[in-house]
Amino acid sequence: MVQDRIIKTEYSEVMQKSYIDYAMSVIVARALPDVRDGLKPVQRRVLYDMHELGIRSDRPYRKCARIVGDTMGKYHPHGDSSIYDALVVMAQEFKKGLPLVDGHGNFGNIEGDGAAAMRYTEARLQKITEEAFLADLDKDVVDFVPNFDETEKEPSVLPVKVPNLLINGSEGIAVGMATSIPPHNLGEVIDAVKAYMNDNNITTRELMRYMKGPDFPTGGIVINKDELAEIYETGVGKVKLRGKVEIEKGKGGKTNVVITEIPYTMIGMGIGKFLSDVAALAETKKTQDIVDIMNQSSKEGIRIVIELRRDADVQNFINMLYKKTRLEDTFGVNMLAISHGRPETLGLKAIIRECVEFQFEVATRKYTNLLEKEQEKKEIQEGLIKACNVIDLVIEILRGSKDRPMAKACLVDGKTEGIKFRSKASLAMAAQLRFTEKQANAILEMRLYKLIGLELQALIKDHEETMANIYRYEDILDRRDSMAQVIVQELESFKKSYGRKRKTVIENGEAAVFEEKKIEEMDVVFLMDRFGYCRTVDSATYERNKEAADAENRFVFTCKNTGRVCLFTAGGQLHTLKVMDVPFGKFRDKGVPVDNISNFNIEKENLIYATSQTELNLYRVLFVTKQSMVKIVDGGEFDVMKRTVASTKLLEGDEVLSVEPFIDQKSVVLQSRDGYFLRFAVEEISAMKKAAVGTKGMKLSEGDEVEAVYYTRAGVEQTIEYKGKKMELGKLKSGARAGKGVKVRV
């Protein structure tokens, strides 16, 4: 029955187990590199597939689409974009200290432009990838496992002969964890490995005599040298980076600040962001030293030129770049990798130890395999030499035998039944033959030219070489020192062939200190039109154009250029913006949309009132909502630095209708949509905090709401127009707060 096969279990337990399985799958099978070869599964599969396709460094390039398709079909069924992205990164010299793929075509650039589509680009393996990553795969040095559909076999790890995890670094985001390992100099890493192999008790600080610190492909300067030892000890920390800056003489006595190397973290869109940040420093008057900014970067390298004024304080300007832009940045280090099948945060020494142990494991399997093959060769060679010594007897056996099995039985076991011999002596000698199976097969397949004297001498020479190889391989396998010597020799050859000078400078840099020039405080007039475009002008310009300014703009008020502007919305939000962020210029300048320089959304929010923060501090503020909630709030509560805060608390479905500073108002007049007017003294409105809802201002009928708010002042007659007729507010009967008011019939 079906009911007998139903398994009842707790839903939360199923979800927990499923999520853990999913998380571990992402961690181990996709996002994190293996400490042994320093590769993620997708990278390993791409390289192995290229090896299988024969796309070597000395052969023509092949289309990346072919490589990606073959990899996806055989080994990595997770989509072509992830495979192509991995292939592209392994070919980008500005991302990898040691590129593993030789790319041909547009593989992107350091400024963030992506690679061309895979149907246009081509690739092949780098020579070092063949020599240090894929060599010896045919010698049973690593385990092969079934692919996703068990139709192919793939290596569980590549037999990498250098600590690739340190040389190329790695970045990846898994579930609940992430890895971030900086790249290092190949020569220095090899020197550190050799030092560890000479002394397994070496400390991390001693290893750093050989491996100074990260060596980024983009160069730059690491400025926290003293903190690196702690980072490499724990595997976690922050590397502080700076770009390389040079000072050149410009035209007309001006000075050019030239950035020739950038922090590794600026790869991609970071350069464009840096240029916009420098431009923003000039636009916001943080500095007035900048004359021009030019990005002259090319394939030859980075070159960003900032032209300064003649009297500029160059060092102070450079320090400002370090403080205000990403020219000084941090690289977060978290050396997390898969070790023995599980994720683990490893220090420098632990990574080197794991890589060295892996080298010994690979070397053991390699030389065991080679020894077995040499021993097989030895057996056959000895059989052929022995056969050559009794070649006449062998020929007599072959001629006298009826078939191959009869001849083989005689060679192996000395069985002479059925074989015709010329003499009894030959029969007696044949009965004593004891060749092995392999030797007998080799003798039966031997060609006659092997009997030539020179060929026999060559056979003897090959046998001597085979014996020498057997002795060497047995020595390597029996003595760890001999195996270590072989590993070190390979490492030295890689260093000699592929080592390069360090690009990144390691030092203890001084903290960037710059004196920010104080802005001269002055009064400006803030103008915002009905479309939300705002600007500031000086007071004299406003006075000359006062009539036009008041007529064309929705909000006009005076404020300090160092102050802030407050924007109150119908939704009860208060948005603030710095006056310095508002363009200052001529009266007819268009300005910028207010939502470009603040959190205010002109499409979704309704702006009720705008004023300067300084003015709010001088007064209390009157609030009125559509549901007739009123209150007075001290203006100091709106003296905030946050870009957005709640200006008041609203009931469900309510909106702010009016916000106004309380200066000399005597009474407030509320007009409802149904035509009721209520006039009462402002003193009846309670003072509350901005987080309060307020008190009832007017009693409203069901479905009615406050439509307009008016204020009267002593000695001032105020007339409004209501449904085409004029009304004097001062003549309205004065009532009490929370009253119904009087209905005005027109």
Catalytic residues, by residue number, are 120
For 547-554, the CB contacts below 8 A with 24+ separation are 548/587, 549/525, 549/587, 553/527, 553/528, 553/529, 554/528, 554/529, 554/530
Beta carbons of 102 and 75 less than 8 angstroms apart: no
**C-alpha to C-alpha distance for 631 and 621, rounded to whole angstroms:** 8
Q: Which of 110, 141, 104, 109 is nearest to 124 (CA)?
A: 104
The CA-based angle 11-13-19, given to 5 degrees, is 105
- Cβ atoms 229, 213 nearer than 8 A: no
* Amino acid code (one letter) for 81: S
CB burial string 78-95: b at 16+ within 10 A, e below? eeeeebbebbbbbbbebb
Radius of gyration of the chain (CA): 42
Distance in angstroms (rounded) separating the CA atoms of residues 51 and 54: 5
Which residue type occupies 394?
V
Q: Which two tokens stand for residue 325?
A: 């832009």
Other CB atoms within 10 Å distance of the CB of residue 255 = 20
For every residue of 311-344, DSSP letters joined together read T--HHHHHHHHHHHSTTEEEEEEE-EEEETTEEE
Length of the chain: 746
Nearest CA to 516 out of 281, 291, 311 is that of 281
Which backbone phi and psi does 120 adopt, to 5 degrees?
-100, -30
Token code pair at residue 88: 């592209």
DSSP notation for 208-219: TTTS-S---TT-
Q: How far apart are CA 555 and CA 607, in angstroms?
A: 11
For residues 586 and 604, the answer to whether their CB atoms sit within 8 Å is: no
- Of 362, 359, 355, 473, nearest to 137 by C-alpha is 362
Alpha carbon distances (Å) from 305 to 246, 253, 343, 504, 528: 10, 15, 44, 21, 37
> Is the Cβ–Cβ distance between 389 and 412 less than 8 Å?
no
Residue with tokens 């791409």, as numbered in its chain: 46
DSSP 434: -
Q: How many other CB atoms sit within 10 Å of the CB of residue 627?
A: 21
Report the alpha-carbon distance of residue 229 to residue 491 in Å, rounded.
25
CB atoms within 10 A of CB 599: 14
Q: Which of 123, 190, 103, 102 is nearest to 498 (CA)?
A: 190
